[in-house]
């Protein structure tokens, strides 16, 4: 079953738990947590404390997306009872294998993400070890950007590699997803779909979430 992970980057931080509760009522599967450090990406979002403010306030697992340099220094901070995945960027990890093993040693699932200009080949020797691959369909740093179509090619290729090599990682896409393109994205072989502004910057978060869920479940 394909899953929806609304990104709280586009939520109203003054009423974060309320916005998240609406997405949960609409049937969302994960809370996507976008952490930006102003170094790896040209924007600062929030850290573990903000994420932890949601602990116990939602049943949804956290899908943590670290857009930060030196993630190894901060991994422990993001482990909570809700944390399901911690994903790091291939481009930010010179010792990616070590970082992935570090995440797993904390008892959570490990993901790796690649930027739009990074090739799948950079993941050849790590695919065996990861629980998820997050394909960026925008240049990370900001919500509300336009979907980069070449991400679909990557998703299809990745799904084919997974099939051919009998691997079992999840495939996630992140950036520029909206109600008009979500079905095509889901059909390409994506398992987990992130949507930020298209969920939280709408008048009725619960109803919009329902529409997303309906579309992805019908693929
Ligand atoms: C981009 C973030 C995304 C972002 C998606 O740097 O990783 O998760 O919040 O936002 P939208 O869905 O608005 O493109
Ligand atoms: Zn993200």
Residue with tokens 């509760």: 21
Atom of ligand 1 nearest to the CA of 195: 12
34 is catalytic: yes
Nearest to 200 by CA among 15, 76, 62, 2: 15
Please give the model's pTM, rounded to 2 decimal places. Answer: 0.98
Q: Is 189 in the pocket of ligand 1 (CB under 6 A)?
A: no
pLDDT band at 3 (very low <50, low <70, confident <90, very high): very high
Q: Which structure tokens are listed for 66?
A: 């670290």
- Phi first, then psi, for residue 194 (nearest 5°) are -95, 140
The pLDDT tens digits for 129-144 are: 999 999 999 999 999 9
Beta-carbon-side half-sphere exposure of residue 55 (alpha carbons within 13 Å): 14
Q: Dihedral angle at the C-alpha atoms of 217, 207, 146, 134, nearest 10 degrees?
A: -40
List the shell of residues around ion ligand 2, using CB closer than 5 Å. Answer: 34, 65, 174
Query: What's the pLDDT tens digit per position in 75-109?
Result: 999 999 999 999 999 999 999 999 999 999 999 99
CB count within 10 Å of CB 165 equals 10
Confidence class for position 158, pLDDT limits 50, 70, 90? very high
Phi-psi bin for 67: left (phi > 0), alpha (psi -120 to 50), beta? beta
Q: Summarize pLDDT for 22-80 with one digit per residue, the tens.
A: 999 999 999 999 999 999 999 999 999 999 999 999 999 999 999 999 999 999 999 99
Would you call 174 a catalytic residue per the annotation?
yes
Check residue 159 and give its pLDDT. 98
In percent, how much of the chain has pLDDT > 90?
A: 100
- 141: CB partners within 8 A, 6+ apart: 36, 41, 42, 43, 67
Among 19, 29, 174, 191, the one annotated catalytic: 174
Q: At what angle do helices 205-217 and 16-25 cross, to 10 degrees?
A: 40
């Amino acid at each position: 079953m394909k899953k929806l992970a609304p990104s709280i980057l586009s939520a109203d931080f003054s009423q974060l738990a309320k916005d998240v509760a609406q997405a949960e009522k609409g049937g969302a599967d994960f809370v996507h947590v976008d952490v930006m450090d102003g170094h790896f990406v040209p924007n600062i979002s929030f850290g573990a404390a903000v994420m932890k403010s949601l602990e116990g306030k939602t049943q949804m697992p956290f899908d943590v997306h670290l857009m930060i340099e030196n993630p190894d220094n901060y991994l422990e901070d993001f482990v909570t009872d809700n944390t399901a995945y911690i994903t790091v960027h291939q481009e930010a990890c010179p010792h990616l294998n070590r970082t992935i093993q570090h995440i797993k040693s904390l008892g959570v699932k490990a993901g790796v993400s690649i930027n739009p200009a990074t090739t799948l080949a950079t993941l050849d020797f790590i695919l065996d070890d990861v629980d998820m691959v997050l394909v960026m369909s925008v240049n990370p740093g900001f919500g509300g950007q336009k979907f980069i179509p070449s991400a679909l090619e990557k998703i299809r290729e990745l799904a084919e590699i997974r099939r051919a090599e009998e691997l079992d990682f999840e495939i996630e896409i992140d950036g520029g997803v909206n109600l008009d393109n979500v079905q095509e994205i889901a059909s390409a072989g994506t398992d987990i779909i992130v949507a930020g502004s298209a969920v939280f910057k709408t008048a009725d978060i619960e109803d919009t979430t329902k529409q997303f869920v309906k579309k992805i479940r019908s693929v």
